[in-house]
Structure 1
C-alpha cells in the first residue's frame, strides 16, 4: 500500500510539473497566437496549420546537403524560437522542420518555443525560455552541443538553410544575421 501511495504521489507531482504545450492566447484584436513551448501538433492545428502545412509541403530540401550533414547534425540539440504572428517564422520554420525530418534528426532534441508579440510581452514566452539567449529576431534557431551554444541562424539564412546548417555543424566560420 505504501508503494502504491508513493507511486501515486510521484505521478501527481509529474502531472502538476509537466510543461503545458501549445498554449494559445487571444490578443485584444482577436488574433490567435501560440506562446511558450509548442510541438508539431500545435503548428499543424488551425489556424497555424494552414500556413505551416502549405510551406512544409511545398519545400524540397537539398538532399545532397542533407546527406552531407545528416550524421553530424544528430550530435546537436536545437531550439527554434518563432512567432506564429511573424512572416519570417512562417517561411523558415516549416522548411527547417522538413530539413530535420529529411535528416532523420531525433526530434526529441528539438525544442520549439513560440514568442508573444503583444506590448509588454514582446518576444517573450510565459515561462521565460528565451531569457539569457539574446533573442532579437524570429525565427532564431540555436544549435547546442554538450550543453553549450555553438551557433545560430537568425531571421533568415545567409545562403540556404541547408548550407547554413552545414556551416554550423562542421564548425566553419559562420556569422549569423544580427550577430551580437
Structure 2
C-alpha cells in the first residue's frame, strides 16, 4: 500500500512537471539580447532588462479614463489573450500601454494571459506550448478578446484609432476591422 502511494505520488509529480510550463522563461543566446518565451506575467515584464522599456512605456502613457469608464464594467466579463515578442518594437510600445488600460479598468488579472513568442528563425513567432496554434498569429502584438469561450475580435499590431477607442468598439460590439484583417478570418 505504501509503495503504491509513493509510486502514484511520483508519477503525478512527474506528469505535472513534464506538462507544466515555466512562467517568465528567459532565453539567452550568446551575443544577443535575451528574450522571454512562453507564458509570462506583468511581473516578468517589469524585471531585468525588460523594465527598461516596459516601465517608461507604462508610466508615460496617459490613459483616456473617460473612454475606459465607458467599457470598464463590460470588460471584466471578457478574457484577453496577448501574443507578443519582448524583441518586437510594437510589442514594447503597445503592451505596456494596454496593461495600463487594463489596470485603469480594474480588469481581473486572472482573465489575462500573456504569451511571449520566439525570435529565433527555426521557431519564429511560436511558443513552447503552441498557444498560437490555429489562431493565425502573424504580427505581434495581437490582443484577442474572448467572451463565453469564443473569440469576439482582436487588435493586431497597432490600434486603428487608439487602444481605448478600439477596445470600446470591440466591447460595445461596434463594427471594428483590425489591421491586416485580410489575413484573418472569424469562424
Residues 27 and 118 in structure 1, CA contact (< 8 A), matched pair in contact too: no
Question: Residues of 2 paired with 1:128 and 1:29: CA distance?
Answer: 27
Q: Which runs of 4+ in 1 moved over 2 A?
A: 5-19, 27-30
Matched residue, 1:171: 173
Task: Indicate the RMSD between aligned Cα atoms, in angstroms.
Answer: 1.8
Structure 2 gaps, min length 5: none
**Which residue does 1:118 correspond to in 2?**
120
Distance 1:17 1:134 in 2: 24
1:34 match: secondary structure: strand
1:9 is displaced (CA, Å) by 6.0
**Normalising by structure 2, what TM-score?**
0.89
Q: CA offsets, 1:84-136, max 9 Å, x none?
A: 00000000000000000000000110000001111111111111111100001
The 8 Å contact of residues 21 and 129 in structure 2, kept in 1 or not, is answered as no
Structure-2 change in CA distance of 1:164 and 1:121 (3 Å) = same
Residues paired across the two proteins, number: 178
Residue aligned with 1:37, SS: strand
Q: TM-score, structure 1 length as denominator?
A: 0.92
What is the CA–CA distance in structure 1 between the aligned matches of 2:180 and 2:29, rounded to whole Å? 29
Choose from 139, 150, 154 the match for 1:137. Answer: 139
**Deviations for 1:8-57, whole angstroms, at most 9, x for unmatched residues?**
56973545543210111123533201010000111011110111011101
- Runs (5+) with no aligned partner, structure 1: none
Q: Which residue matches 1:67?
A: 69
